[in-house]
């Protein structure tokens, strides 16, 4: 591969005198980079950038080509909406999906025109190895509506429910399922002989609610399709995590369960370049959505199955075969970062190595995805707490890592950056716990700063070097707050035992870990112990509600988003019952469960101790942690006479996705902090009116 030049970096060195700091408006002006693929000739990176328009409250995504030799950037698309899923078409042209169709263009210039005209629309497209067939996914009707039953009630708007699971994440289940289709593909883009390989089944592929193109692939020679599906419905679906990987044979039309008897999540099938092995991810225990995610391989000729993650005391996040099939690249959390590893499959399978796992690159950043591999160079996406996603090149021999895309350099180079430090502290049970400390820009150790204890959600979500556009540590620190972010019990990256200790113990050691981090933070000479807040969402919101009742004066302000306040009503309204059954220990009416999860660890039972101002956020379309949780918490605070505020967003789900709601979220966040524990660097939004 020719020497990679990075001309875009010339003259863009970090300004030592940068005085601007991150604001919500600046954060939402950043381009959000999505890496697509390498061009067919390997000479260019194709990536997508999304920009948000606050005034219009929408976003626009377009594709770009970056030449690896010289750094020239060429826009490849300009249509309104999102062009995505860049692929190589059978004749070598560039293709991508746009408005439900494949568009065909030139790798160098774009100039794409619509190639397919399949009226139902296409998604998750993959071409067969010989290019004569195409697989894709689409919606088909597999159930019954009210109007099907009563044709004269065409204006009726109701759901008639006989079973669980009637809604999921942010939408109600309807009469449609997402199925996998296979069809013939002509050179002129005509699709014919369409076959639904899941015909008549009321199941989904991709999986709901977050599955994607990784859930369906071709085998090595195009004779079969492998796809992921959870083939259960109703109550069985609501209490089980058992998804499987299925093989559909095109010649016979027969479907075979390739992971029969494996009872947890089985996902992410990846066929080796020689077609002999399928690597995939698998959890062992049914009902445990945060079980160790094992890296498995199955011999497609003999059926031999091996667990490669026995060498790793951690969950694997993603996998990808190397081009030569000798290695499996995988990403896993390790001590507060998402790290890229190599599994030496060739040496392992030949019995030449005792321990076949090695880190590929290490540092205070997250590797979030693998884009492609070319001539000994891996292209990956990377973030840290001061920088949103960009694409990097990684020379495998030298470990030299260089930034390839520079979408947000101009903005970041104008900002004074936060300082991010790892610290290790002792917990109440004598364990070592990592705490990320994020210090304000232009930090002065002789000053006193207010602080925020950040409570991570999940509850088994990694607190790594991620970059969030809502819970953004850079933004919080830029307003003059020291952020204390502990890797408390339950977080991956510190071994399976540490990760599992939170299940059925939500209000136990994990809450003590938070209090340990708060007490440690107060010992720092630059932290004003009288101005410490606790903030978090989901389980982090639960943590805030719990801390509000047990903190014994440690905090002066609380902020909870989509948190769990009443675990009994949470059990009665949430959708994924497997989660509640595993993490809480079962339903509230079972003996032995009530005393701990629904009594001792239930935040509502400590409301009598609440005495501290609290801000509550809630999304109306959050069916995981439903709106009644926030209503109950706000009502309790108001009736207790506690300063409290409620920000209700009826169209948002468990997250905040729209631009103006995101800006509102952050403005209210800092307005609340200004009222309850102000900072000398407090953010004042443009256009805000004096009250």
CB atoms within 10 A of CB 551: 24
CA dihedral angle for residue 630, residue 631, residue 635, residue 636, rounded to 10 degrees: -40
What is the rounded end-to-end Cα distance, in angstroms, of the chain?
62
Query: Phi, psi at residue 339, to the nearest 5°?
Result: -110, 145
Query: Phi and psi (nearest 5°) for 181?
Result: -120, 150
**SS3 of 292, please?**
coil
Q: Which residues of 627-662 are buried (b: 16+ CB within 10 A; e: fewer)?
A: bebbebbbebbeeeebebbbbebeebbbbbbbbebb
Question: In the Cβ-directed half-sphere of 683, how many Cα atoms lie within 13 Å?
Answer: 26
Which of 539, 506, 518 is closest to 433 using CA atoms?
A: 518
Residues 387, 494, 561, 654: which is the catalytic one?
654
Whether 406 is a known active-site residue: answer: no
Which residues fall within 8 angstroms of residue 133, CB to CB, at 6 or more apart?
127, 182, 183, 184, 185, 222, 250
Strand, coil or helix: what is 380?
A: strand
> Annotated catalytic residue: which of 215, 266, 562, 622?
622
| CB neighbour burial string for 613-624, b if at least 16 within 10 angstroms, e if fewer | bbbbbbbebbbb
Q: In the sheet where 614-619 sits, what is the strand order?
A: 419-426, 432-439, 482-486, 449-455, 527-537, 557-561, 614-619, 644-649
Burial class (CB in 10 A: 0-12, 13-18, 19+), 326: middle
Q: What is the DSSP string of 9-61?
A: GTT-PPPTT--B---HHHHHHS-EEEEEEE-TTSSEEEEEEEEEETTTTEEEE
List of residues 6+ apart from 656 with CB closer than 8 A: 470, 617, 619, 649, 662, 665
Task: Copy the structure tokens of residue 240.
Answer: 């089980």
Element (H, E) at 307: strand 305-307
Is there a catalytic annotation at residue 15?
A: no
Is 538 a residue of the active site?
yes
Neighbour-count burial of 484, counting CB atoms closer than 10 A to its CB (0-12 exposed, 13-18 middle, 19+ buried): buried
Q: How far is the C-alpha of 90 from the C-alpha of 129, rounded, in Å?
A: 9
Report how far residue 348's alpha carbon sits from residue 354's, in angstroms, rounded to the nearest whole number.
Answer: 8
Cα separations in angstroms, 306 against 219, 247, 282, 303, 315? 19, 19, 11, 10, 16
The catalytic position among 503, 538, 556, 597 is 538
Residue 200, helix vs strand vs coil: coil
Contact 481, 679 (CB under 8 A): yes
DSSP 318-368: EEEE-TTSSEEEEEEEETTEEEEEEEEHHHHHTT--S--EEEEE-SSSEEE
CA separation (Å) from 478 to 417, 419, 691? 8, 10, 24
Question: Sign of torsion, CA 509 510 511 514?
Answer: positive
Q: Which residues are catalytic?
A: 538, 622, 654
């Amino acid at each position: 591969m020719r020497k990679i030049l990075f001309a875009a970096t010339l003259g863009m060195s970090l300004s030592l005198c940068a005085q601007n700091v991150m604001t919500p408006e600046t954060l939402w002006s950043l381009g959000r980079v999505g890496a697509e693929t390498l061009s067919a000739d390997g000479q260019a990176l194709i990536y997508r950038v999304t920009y948000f328009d606050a005034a219009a409250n929408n976003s626009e995504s377009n594709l770009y080509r970056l030449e690896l030799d010289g750094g020239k950037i060429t826009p490849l698309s300009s249509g309104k909406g999102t062009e995505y899923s860049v692929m190589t078409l059978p004749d070598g042209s560039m293709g991508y999906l746009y408005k439900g169709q494949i568009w065909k263009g030139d790798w160098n210039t774009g100039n794409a025109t619509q190639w397919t005209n399949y009226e139902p629309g296409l998604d998750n497209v993959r071409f067969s190895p010989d290019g004569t067939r195409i697989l894709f996914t689409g919606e088909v009707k597999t159930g019954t509506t009210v109007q099907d039953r009563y044709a004269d009630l065409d204006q009726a708007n109701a759901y008639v429910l006989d079973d669980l699971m009637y809604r999921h994440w942010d939408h109600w289940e309807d009469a449609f399922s997402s199925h996998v289709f296979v069809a013939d593909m002509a050179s002129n883009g005509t699709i014919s002989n369409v076959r639904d390989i899941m015909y008549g089944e009321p199941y989904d592929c991709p999986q709901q609610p977050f599955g994607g193109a990784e859930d369906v692939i071709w085998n090595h020679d195009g004779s079969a399709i492998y796809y992921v599906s959870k083939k259960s419905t109703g109550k069985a679906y609501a209490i089980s995590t058992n998804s499987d990987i299925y093989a559909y044979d095109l010649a016979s039309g027969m479907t075979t369960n390739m992971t029969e008897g494996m009872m947890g999540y089985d996902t992410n099938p990846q066929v080796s370049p020689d077609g002999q092995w399928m690597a995939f991810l698998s959890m062992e225990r049914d009902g445990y959505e945060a079980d160790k995610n094992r890296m498995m391989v199955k011999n497609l000729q003999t059926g031999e199955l091996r667990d490669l993650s026995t060498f790793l005391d951690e969950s694997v996040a993603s996998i990808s075969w190397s081009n030569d099939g000798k290695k499996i690249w995988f990403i896993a959390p390790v001590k507060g970062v998402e790290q890229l590893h190599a599994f030496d499959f060739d040496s392992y399978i030949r019995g030449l190595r005792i321990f076949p796992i090695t880190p590929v690159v290490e540092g205070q950043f997250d590797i979030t995805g693998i884009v492609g591999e070319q001539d000994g160079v891996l292209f990956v996406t990377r973030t840290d707490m001061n920088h949103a996603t960009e694409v990097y090149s990684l020379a495998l021999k030298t470990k030299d890592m260089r930034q390839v895309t520079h979408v947000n350099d101009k903005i970041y180079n104008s900002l004074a950056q936060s300082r991010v430090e790892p610290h290790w502290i002792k917990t109440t049970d004598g364990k070592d716990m990592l705490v990320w400390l994020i210090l304000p820009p232009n930090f002065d150790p002789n000053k006193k700063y207010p602080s925020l204890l950040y409570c991570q959600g999940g509850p088994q979500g990694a607190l790594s070097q991620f970059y969030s556009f809502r819970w953004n540590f850079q933004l919080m620190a830029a307003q003059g707050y020291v952020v204390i972010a502990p890797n408390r019990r339950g977080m991956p990256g510190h071994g399976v035992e540490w990760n599992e200790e939170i299940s059925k113990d939500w209000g136990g050691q994990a809450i003590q870990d938070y209090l340990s981090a708060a007490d440690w933070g107060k010992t720092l000479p630059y932290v004003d112990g009288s101005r410490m807040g606790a903030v978090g969402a989901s389980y982090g919101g639960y943590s805030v509600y719990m801390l509000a009742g047990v903190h014994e004066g440690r905090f002066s302000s609380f902020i909870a988003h989509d948190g769990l306040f009443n675990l009994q009503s949470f059990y009665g309204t949430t959708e994924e019952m497997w989660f509640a059954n595993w993490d809480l220990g079962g339903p509230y009416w079972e003996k032995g469960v009530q005393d701990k999860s629904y009594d001792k660890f239930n935040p509502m039972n400590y409301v009598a101790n609440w005495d501290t101002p609290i801000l509550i956020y809630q999304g109306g379309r959050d069916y995981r942690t439903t709106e009644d949780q926030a209503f109950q918490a706000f009502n309790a605070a108001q009736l207790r006479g506690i300063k409290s505020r409620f920000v209700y967003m009826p169209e948002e789900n468990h997250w905040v996705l729209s631009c103006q709601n995101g800006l509102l979220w952050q403005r209210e966040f800092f307005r609340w902090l200004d009222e309850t524990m102000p900072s000398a660097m407090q953010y004042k939004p443009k256009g805000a009116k004096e009250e």
